[in-house]
């Protein structure tokens, strides 16, 4: 069911004529552009802790955001009330924040037949609550039966269904229905007085069936147990400048944070990014080709259209080390005299869109992963990361590894703990000397924050070798 059409437009008698009037009110003759973003969201979340349901939530939210744009200035108003008069008032407010002026006639285009990257069906309709709770309890029991060192298990399942309608003065009229599910598990193992944790999970733009009725959740449970077991054996790591090999998949979060944000259009238009004014310049090793691809079917970061109604694309950001372009929304693209790239995203109807990543990853290279490990005499193999931070203006970053090992004489040996990577995104890219042929995308758990807004994203990379980077450790 399209919630926007049935529960909003039909229920409140918002005809095409009325929608045109609202857009007209938001976009008088001295304003460049206006758009309406209708959203109806149905979401739920379940969490099981040590076999007991600790939380179960369900939420419905709906509203419309109205934006008026003149030059680089945006007026914005949003409302949870869909009455026509109320929306006209909100449109006038949006307009007046920027400029006032005489209204002009706006004519809506026909609904777009957009390319669909996921099924337009709510995941919340697929399974009853008792099935979801039983599933979580089955996972909990599976973990406890598998390892007698288990002290604590936390399992969660969440689902969201967004129904979207985007209208703007460029003639776009686009409906999009977006499913999203996520499964997560955290396991703590205890031996003597030592406790260590491991975590895993995944999801995407599909129904609960693809998690509950498959082996995925059990594979994630095995992975959480494995990580915790490795960490029980981990020793303190030493600090210093050394060679680091990053594993495939989730370590791409470092790429996302340290490089990806710096390639978003707004930072570069304002010249606050370490990559500003470097189009066509060598910004990375010739081994590196990085893309942002919002078109991958069912991926967590994918969208059939972005939140401005533009179809998402596979955008090459860096090709063989050369900076090719930035990720753009409509407004920054216009101000920079380039085309939008399908990266206009917002957390909800109550937020302004801005340039954001979708699925950002490095393309595979020519080297076998074992060949990369064997090339390192003394270094670190970092497999998973638990978090980090970056300064967009200069590219400086700090990331903490949740799973890492020593590399000694070309072999992966002892696990280490307390390891952090400290460096500069653009400089680190230049020190990539080998890129593996084993590209892997993450399992579908990524969430990106920017200016107080959070959106689902994907990351990924093949195994890659960084010749020199500062490593923080805990070894005394």
- pLDDT band of residue 125 (cuts 50, 70, 90) is confident
Cα 252 to Cα 269: distance, rounded to the nearest angstrom:
25
Contact criterion met (CB below 8 Å) for 195 and 189: yes
Beta bridge partners of 163: 40, 177
Classified as helix, coil or strand, 266 is helix
Q: What pTM was estimated for this model as a whole?
A: 0.94
Measure the CA dihedral 239/244/249/252, to 10°.
80
| Strands 453-456 and 396-408, sheet pairing | unpaired
Give pLDDT tens digits for 275-285.
999 999 999 99
Domain of 221: which CATH number? 3.30.2290.10
- pLDDT band of residue 352 (cuts 50, 70, 90) is very high
Q: Say yes or no: 325 and 394 in one domain.
A: yes
Query: How much is the pLDDT for 238?
Result: 87
Structure tokens at 403: 């799973």
Burial of residue 48 (CB within 10 Å: 0-12, 13-18, 19+) is buried
Classified as helix, coil or strand, 303 is coil
Q: Say yes or no: 207 and 245 in one domain.
A: no
Among residues 462, 458, 380, 463, the alpha carbon closest in space to that of 423 is found at 380
Query: How much is the pLDDT for 357?
Result: 98
Burial of residue 61 (CB within 10 Å: 0-12, 13-18, 19+) is middle
Q: Say yes or no: 147 and 283 in one domain.
A: no
Is pLDDT at 1 greater than 70 in this prediction?
A: no
Q: Say yes or no: 333 and 415 in one domain.
A: yes
Among residues 147, 199, 141, 170, the alpha carbon closest in space to that of 27 is found at 170
Looking at 175, 205, 233, the residue that finishes a domain is 233
Query: How much is the pLDDT for 389?
Result: 78
Query: How much is the pLDDT for 106?
Result: 65
Is pLDDT at 363 greater than 70 in this prediction?
A: yes
CB-based contacts of 195-198 (< 8 A; 24+ apart in sequence): 195/151, 196/228, 196/229, 196/231, 196/232, 196/234, 197/227, 197/228, 197/231, 198/223, 198/224, 198/225, 198/226, 198/227, 198/228, 198/229, 198/230, 198/231
Beta bridge partners of 321: none
Looking at 216, 233, 250, the residue that finishes a domain is 233
- pLDDT band of residue 2 (cuts 50, 70, 90) is confident
Helical (H) or strand (E) element with 459: strand 458-461
The least confident of 189-203, 294-308, 356-370, 415-429 is 415-429
Phi/psi of residue 12, nearest 5 degrees: -105, 10
The arithmetic mean of pLDDT across residues 113-120, rounded, is 89
Mean of all residue pLDDT scores within the chain: 93
DSSP string of 371-398, one letter each residue: HHHHT-SEEEEEEEEEEEEE-TTT-EEE
Give pLDDT tens digits for 371-415.
999 999 999 999 998 877 778 777 788 989 999 999 999 999 999
- Residue that the structure tokens 């552009």 belong to: 33
Give pLDDT tens digits for 310-334.
999 999 999 999 999 999 999 999 9
Among residues 33, 13, 35, the alpha carbon closest in space to that of 22 is found at 35
Alpha carbon 264 to chain centroid, angstroms = 14
Structure tokens at 239: 């600090």
Q: Say yes or no: 181 and 256 in one domain.
A: no
Query: How much is the pLDDT for 108?
Result: 65
pLDDT above 70 covers what percent of the chain?
A: 97
- pLDDT band of residue 104 (cuts 50, 70, 90) is low
In 170-239, where do the E strands start and end? 173-191, 194-204, 235-236
Based on the structure, what is the number of domains in the chain?
Answer: 2
The arithmetic mean of pLDDT across residues 36-50, rounded, is 97
Q: Say yes or no: 182 and 311 in one domain.
A: no
Looking at 210, 233, 256, the residue that finishes a domain is 233
Q: Say yes or no: 196 and 47 in one domain.
A: yes
Beta bridge partners of 354: 345
Is pLDDT at 107 greater than 80 in this prediction?
A: no
Give pLDDT tens digits for 421-432.
998 888 899 999
Give pLDDT tens digits for 190-243.
999 999 999 999 999 999 999 999 999 999 999 999 999 999 999 998 889 999
Among residues 40, 30, 33, the alpha carbon closest in space to that of 7 is found at 40
Q: Say yes or no: 254 and 371 in one domain.
A: yes
Q: Say yes or no: 43 and 91 in one domain.
A: yes
Domain assignment of residue 420, given as a range: 240-472
Query: How much is the pLDDT for 476?
Result: 52
Contact criterion met (CB below 8 Å) for 359 and 255: no
Residue 464 CB neighbour total at 10 angstroms: 28
Query: Using CA of residue 197, residue 236, residue 384, residue 376, what is the dihedral sign?
Result: negative
Query: How much is the pLDDT for 101?
Result: 63
Q: Say yes or no: 311 and 392 in one domain.
A: yes
Q: Say yes or no: 217 and 95 in one domain.
A: yes
Structure tokens at 381: 């193999």
Q: How many CA atoms lie within 13 A of 32 on its CB side?
A: 12
How open is the CA angle 280-281-283, to the nearest 5 degrees?
125
What are the residues whose beta carbons fall under 8 Å from the beta carbon of 15, sequence distance 6 or more? none
Query: How much is the pLDDT for 257?
Result: 85
Burial track 98-130 (b if 16+ CB lie within 10 A, e otherwise): bbeeebeebebeeebeeeebbeeebbbebbeee
Q: Say yes or no: 324 and 363 in one domain.
A: yes
């Amino acid at each position: 069911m399209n919630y926007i059409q049935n529960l909003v437009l039909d229920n409140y008698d918002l005809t095409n004529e009325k929608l045109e009037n609202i857009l007209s009110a938001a976009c008088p003759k001295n304003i460049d552009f206006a758009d309406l973003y209708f959203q109806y969201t149905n979401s739920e979340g379940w969490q099981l802790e040590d076999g007991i349901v600790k939380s179960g939530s369900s939420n419905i939210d709906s509203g419309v955001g109205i934006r008026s744009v003149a030059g680089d200035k945006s007026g914005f108003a949003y409302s949870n009330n869909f009455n026509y008069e109320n929306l006209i008032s909100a449109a006038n407010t949006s307009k007046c924040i920027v400029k006032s002026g005489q209204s002009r006639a706006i004519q809506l285009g026909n609904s777009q037949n957009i390319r669909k990257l996921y099924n337009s069906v709510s995941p919340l309709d697929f399974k009853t609550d008792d099935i979801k709770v039983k599933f979580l309890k089955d996972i909990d029991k599976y973990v406890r039966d598998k390892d007698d060192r288990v002290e604590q298990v936390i399992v969660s399942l969440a689902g969201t269904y967004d129904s979207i309608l985007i209208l703007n003065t460029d003639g776009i009229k686009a409906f999009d229905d977006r499913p999203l599910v996520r499964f997560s598990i955290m396991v703590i193992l205890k031996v003597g007085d030592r406790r260590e944790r491991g975590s895993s999970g995944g999801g995407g733009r599909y129904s609960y069936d693809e998690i509950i009725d498959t082996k995925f959740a059990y594979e994630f449970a095995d992975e959480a147990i494995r990580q915790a077991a490795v960490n029980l054996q981990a020793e303190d790591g030493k600090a210093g400048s050394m060679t680091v090999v990053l594993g495939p998949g989730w370590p791409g979060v470092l790429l996302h944070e340290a490089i990806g944000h710096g390639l978003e259009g707004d930072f570069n238009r304002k010249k606050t990014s370490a990559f500003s004014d470097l189009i066509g310049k060598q910004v990375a090793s010739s081994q590196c080709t990085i893309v942002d691809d919002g078109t991958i079917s069912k991926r967590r970061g994918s969208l059939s259209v972005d939140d401005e109604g533009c179809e998402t694309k596979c955008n090459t950001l860096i090709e063989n080390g050369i900076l090719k372009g930035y990720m753009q929304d409509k407004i920054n693209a216009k101000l920079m005299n380039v085309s939008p790239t399908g990266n206009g995203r917002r957390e909800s109807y109550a937020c302004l869109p801005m340039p954001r990543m979708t699925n950002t990853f490095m393309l595979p290279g020519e080297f076998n992963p074992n060949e990369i490990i064997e090339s390192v005499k003394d270094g670190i193999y970092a497999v998973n990361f638990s978090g980090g931070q970056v300064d967009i203006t200069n590219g400086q970053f700090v990331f903490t590894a949740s799973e890492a090992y020593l590399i000694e004489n070309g072999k992966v040996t002892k696990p280490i703990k307390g390891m952090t990577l400290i460096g500069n995104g653009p400089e680190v890219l230049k020190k990539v000397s080998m890129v593996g042929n084993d590209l892997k995308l993450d399992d579908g758990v990524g969430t990106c924050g920017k200016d107080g807004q959070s959106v689902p994203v994907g990351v990924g990379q093949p195994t890659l070798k960084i010749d020199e980077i500062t490593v923080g450790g805990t070894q005394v």
